[in-house]
Amino acid sequence: MVGSCVLDSERGTMELAHLARLRLRLAARAARTFFRGSKLRVTVMSSAALVFWCLMFAMFLQVFLFLGRFEGLTEILSDYLFAFFFLALLAMMSISNAIICYSSFYRDEEASFLLSLPIHAESIFIYKGAESILFSAWGMGTLVMPMVLAYGIAQQVPWYFYVLSLLLAITMMGLPMVAGAIVALLVPLVVPRRRTLTLALFLAVVAGVLVLWVTFMLAQRPTVLLTEAGFKQIMDRIAFCQHWALPSYWVSEGILASGRAVPRRAVFLLLLLLSNVMFFAMLACRLGKSLYLPALASSQMRRSESRKIKAQSILDRLLAAVLFFLPVNLRLLVLKDAKTFRRDPTQWSQTLLFFGLLSLYVVNLPRFGFTTLAPYWQNLVALLNLGATCLTLSTLTSRFIYPQLSLEGRRIWIVGMIPMRRSTVLWGKFFFAAAGSLLLSGSLIVLSDMMLGLEGWIIAMHMLVVLCVCCGLNGLAVGLGAVYPNMRSDNPSQIVGSFGGTFNLVCSIFFILASLLLIAIPLHLHATGVLVGRDFHIVATVCLCLEVVLAAVACLVPMRAGIRAFERMEF
Amino acid sequence: MIRLENLTKVFGDLTAVDHLNLEIPPGEFFAFIGPNGAGKTTTIKMIAGLLRPTEGRATLCGHDVQNDYIAAKSVLSYVPDRPYLYDKLTGREFLRFVARTYNLPRAETESKIGELSETFGLEDFLDDLAETYSHGMKQRVVISAALLHNPKVVVVDEPLVGLDPKGGSILKQLMREQSRKGTSIFMSTHTLSLAEEVADRIGIIHRGRIVALGAPDDIRRVASTDGRLEEAFLRLTEEG
């Protein structure tokens, strides 16, 4: 509707209808192929989605039932929780949509194909931009729906709460789509040609702001979290998420208003949101009409510019020196993977972002006064940090390590032709990934444990878990990546979203849960005083031995299967 | 008709195409040859409207590719060197989709698909999903899609890549037929024998500039050789 207004012609509407029919047909065909495919694949992927949804629902239900116990505080806490949740969700979805829109506007072969046909550029812009709504739908289905449903059940809300919440959530999906499309449209025009310099400057500014923020936080009086004053201070700090001008606040406030039997306010906020989404969608279409082709030309221009790299970098020389003990061919393969990682901004920027945020949190740990808490709470926070680090690591191994072999694609014969055993190639990839992971996550855990003031032996136990998790996760990613290669696709997201990618992610999550459980049991029982002295030593030793065995299984089984598959692979 | 006026493309410090002036009248089969990185694909992409010229302009049958791109693309067919098909559509569905973008009536579409299917031997796989096609099969479907709407201008980048000798021979025959019917054909290729065999005129591009233009004999004359076109090409594009 918005598109047709902008195109202002019958032809534009026809083009959009034609493209929408194409997309629907492709989606239906893909769904049919999926459900007619391997039963195992359908079962694993559907069960993974269902289990994830149920876990989210159960977690939210527990949270809302717990909050319901605090008479008088429930409403205030729900207000903060909803406002913060929707602000974070919208921010994350907008960033992700901008990345998705950028690649589908300028990197996608389909866009080039459509542009060679007599179709208006703005129709292609709207069509490609609207594709990213699938991502928003995924976010809504897996996060918003279980949360809203859990709230409704816990608070026993009126029936129209579900209808209005659904409408608010669907309308909300338009915002990140539109924001992402506008950002993706402006980036090639605004960012000058020297991207590396721009990126470096941008990162320097971000780092500067973060340093200032951390300094500001550290300059304030330490807060003890579990006191009334501490609680109020935390609430005050996140009060910004309830600003009236934030669309995320309209969504959260609308949902809560309908749950509190104030449907008029919910409808008002829904219409406010809808009118804003429509306005910005219209603006995006106008911008797309005049800017899409210049932006496309600008992005292609940058890609065509030559990037000369003459001298060998210090990092490569350093890495080559550190890896002196490896056979020459294997060292070359590791160096190749290191160079690829360094020169691919999507890989290092996401790694930096994830671990940067975790580091920021860890540096701030003393601010929350955890060092003064009882061992029970210290242990709990340390385990949560360990869990967060391991889950972040699994996201990175699933996103970057798993598709590595598939991304060799048509160039895989180069790897196959190297005069060395193919198993060595996979082990090379494994050692590179495991060493990198261990360096990042190990440093973070040591830092976190030191900030919490934990004793040396606990830090050592945590480090053993990190080592095991690094080996297990990378063994799974490299091994399963070779068992389920997808040489036809150049798109990492497609490879990660395939059966093998999902299977790897599911296995990684179960492996992490099992690993955490094995360390959590002895440490929790020790912190609560149930297990002490010799009994603790016996249980801890048994659990750590099991931890090592579990990691060995998680690493060696997929690696062996991967090596067998890779050795049989024909190029 | 294709007209390139002072067509220029600059990438940072590199001038990929340098003030190119060229006119290809209706019915002419023009072959565009040059070493790697000479500016062939950049020129083709500017003609197809996929790249914006830094300076100058390209017009197709009088329509400016940048300012009047819908009219320009309505008379154009572009066949890229890497054929693009939707994996989850069959070849027939893809051809129908392309036909609709050119507003071809349904009956005409079906009859044209039948005709091209017979010519290119598509019958055996046209109703299979494109994800099962080989490179040659994809190339045949994409070339068929390019000829569906009787274009007045055909721009084709490396047409023989992936085609078997029979497919190549059919394509050459079909292109000649199209050119006889009045279609301007702009073909970029590295296969010098193909250029010599089918083209009315040949343009050699080197470092973004046309260094020789004319019939094969004219090219040999410019290169001061009476040997093969390959010899003339090497002489005209030698470095230093």
Q: What is the rounded distance in angstroms from the CA atom of residue A555 to the CA atom of residue A171?
A: 44
B16 vs A contacts (CB less than 8 Å): 304
Taking only the tens place, the pLDDT of each residue in B18-38 is 999 999 999 999 999 999 889
Interface test with chain A among B87, B102, B106, B135, by most A beta carbons within 10 Å: B87
Contact B51 A18 (CB under 8 A): no
CB contact under 8 Å between A116 and B16, yes or no, is no
Interface contact flag, B49 A116, Cβ < 8 Å: yes
pLDDT band, very low/low/confident/very high, at B107 (cuts 50, 70, 90): very high
Provide the shortest C-alpha distance from residue B82 to chain A (in Å): 10
Specify whether the CB–CB gap between B200 and B25 falls below 8 A: no
CB contact under 8 A, B12 and A22: no
The pairing of strands B184-188 and B29-33 is parallel
Q: Tell me the shortest Cα–Cα distance from A190 to chain B, in angstroms.
A: 16
pTM score of the predicted model: 0.76
Confidence of residue B240 (pLDDT cuts 50, 70, 90): low
Cβ contact, residue pair B88, A30, below 8 Å: yes
Among A149-153, A383-387, B82-86, B224-228, which is the least confidently predicted range?
Answer: B224-228
Q: Which of A113, A193, A300 sits opposite B84 (nearest CB)?
A: A113
How near does any CA of chain A get to the CA of B38, in Å?
13
Minimum Cα–Cα distance from B100: chain A residue: A18
Note the pLDDT of residue A274.
96
Per-residue pLDDT, A109: 84
CB-CB under 8 Å, A18 with B70 = no
Asked if the C-beta of B86 comes within 8 angstroms of chain A's C-beta atoms, the answer is: yes
* pLDDT tens, N- to C-terminus, chain A (571 residues): 444 444 456 778 889 999 999 999 998 988 888 788 778 778 877 888 888 889 889 999 999 998 888 877 888 888 988 998 999 888 888 887 888 888 888 888 888 899 889 999 899 999 998 887 776 777 778 889 999 999 999 988 999 999 999 999 999 989 988 998 998 898 888 875 555 556 556 666 666 676 666 666 655 555 555 567 767 777 777 788 888 899 999 999 999 999 999 999 999 999 999 999 999 999 999 999 989 988 888 887 655 555 555 556 777 788 888 888 877 777 877 888 788 777 776 677 777 777 776 777 777 666 666 666 777 888 888 898 899 889 888 988 988 889 888 877 666 666 667 677 788 888 888 988 898 889 988 988 998 888 888 888 999 999 999 999 999 999 999 999 999 988 776 667 777 777 888 889 889 999 999 999 999 989 888 888 888 888 889 999 999 999 999 999 999 999 999 999 988 876 6
pLDDT at A211: 63
Residue (of A488, A494, A493, A500) closest to A561 by Cα position? A500
Chain A CB contacts of B78 under 8 Å are 116
Considering CB atoms only, which of B70, B78, B93 is closest to A116? B78
CA separation for the pair A134, A35 (Å, rounded): 19
Helix axes B135-147, B106-120, angle to 10 degrees: 140
Q: Among residues B90, B109, B102, B94, which one has the least CA distance to residue A14?
A: B102
A327 token code pair: 């056979």
**What are the structural domain ranges in chain A?**
75-301, 359-571
Is there a contact between A477 and A397 (Cβ–Cβ < 8 Å)? yes
Using the 8-state DSSP alphabet, how is residue A240 labeled?
Answer: G
Nearest to A22 among B12, B50, B97 (CB): B97
Instruction: State whether residue B138 is helix, strand or coil.
Output: helix
Indicate yes or no: CB of B48 within 8 angstroms of CB of A110.
no
Among A119, A297, A306, the residue with its CB nearest the CB of B51 is A297
Contact check, Cβ <8 Å, B50/A120: no
Q: Alpha helix (H) ranges present in chain B?
A: 40-47, 69-74, 91-101, 106-120, 135-147, 165-180, 192-198, 216-222, 229-236
Which residue from A554, A530, A408, A413 is spatially nearest to A476, judged by alpha carbons? Answer: A554
Residue B11's alpha-carbon distances to A199, A302, A304, A305, B30, in angstroms, are 20, 7, 7, 5, 26
Is B52 in contact with A118 (Cβ distance < 8 A)? no
Are the C-beta atoms of B49 and A116 separated by less than 8 Å?
A: yes
Closest approach of B98 to chain A, Cα-based (Å): 8
Rama region for B4: left / alpha / beta (φ>0; ψ in -120 to 50; rest) = beta
